[in-house]
Amino acid sequence: MTHPTQHLDEVVHQRTRLGILAVLVEADRAQFGFLQDTLNLTDGNLSRHLQTLEKAGHVRIEKGYEGRRPRTWVRITRSGRRALADEVALLKELVGRLDFHSREESTQRTADA
């Protein structure tokens, strides 16, 4: 049986990108500005992470105009949803393993005492 860390997706397994996907999975689409405010990121930083996610096929970026103002909308793809779900499941599995180790250690300590 392989360890859960073997299945980590390097694209999603990054805190900012995980945050972007976590926001997008709760809506059909979000504006660039909304992601920036919610995750407290700079223009450049968010763009870089979005490009990485887009390249991996996890998000789709749509550029358009509202009146004369340019707007960038981002939406999560099916592959992005799956990747996020897998990552969250792995996180839970890791925490579960840690819980098990902690309990084992505490039982050992009690027995030693």
The count of residues interacting with other proteins (CB under 8 A) is 43
Q: Return d(Cα 79, Cα 41) in angstroms, integer.
A: 24
Structure tokens given for 29: 């689409």
* Long-range pairs, 93-100, Cβ under 8 A, ≥24: 93/4, 94/4, 94/5, 97/4
Instruction: In angstroms, give the least distance from the CB of 57 to other proteins.
Output: 19
The alpha carbon of 98 is separated from its chain's Cα centroid by a whole number of angstroms, namely: 21
Q: Pick the binder of other proteins from 7, 25, 70, 85 (CB under 8 A).
A: 25
Neighbours of 7 (CB within 10 A): 13
38 binds other proteins (CB under 8 A): yes
Q: Pick the binder of other proteins from 7, 55, 82, 101 (CB under 8 A).
A: 101
The contact set with other proteins (CB under 8 A) reads 3-5, 8, 10, 13-16, 18-19, 22-23, 25-31, 33-34, 37-42, 45, 66, 73, 88, 91-92, 94-95, 97-99, 101-102, 104-105
